[in-house]
Amino acid sequence: MSQRRFKLVVKRDPEDPSFWLVNVAGTPGAHTFGRSLGEAKRRGVEVVALWFEIEPQQFEIDWDIRLGDLGSYVKEARNAMAHAEADRQRRDEAVRALMNAGVSYRDIAELLGLSHQRVAQIAKAS
């Protein structure tokens, strides 16, 4: 049996931005709120379970989090974090390649602009 899917729209309360409002799309009256995004999402799951009388493992939720003008900041930050992770992986690969070539931690540090302690941490994690 395939799971049911529900779209939940989450947005900040225009009257009190410290609250997050959650609405089950296409289901008037099925709504809740939370003081944090995490709480709002937990309560959203509860609303679906109670409203449709099904267990949480019987449905999936598509979260539509609407941030208005703030959405671009989140998108840019997530993009930057993804690039940072890719950069970190390339740095670690360089450290491993230099180590495998017999270059000392101190020389690797000098070449890559790192501390020799950081090179040792990367080497230990490898």
Query: How much is the pLDDT for 63?
Result: 97
Record the tokens describing residue 12, joined without a space: 């900040």
Averaged in consecutive runs of 10 residues, what is the pLDDT profile of the chain (126 residues)? Answer: 90 95 97 97 97 95 94 93 93 95 95 95 90
Record the tokens describing residue 123, joined without a space: 């080497």
Query: How much is the pLDDT for 1?
Result: 59
- pTM for this structure? 0.68
Query: How much is the pLDDT for 105?
Result: 95
Distance CA 105, CA 29 (A): 62
- On the 0-12 / 13-18 / 19+ scale of CB atoms within 10 A, 38 is exposed
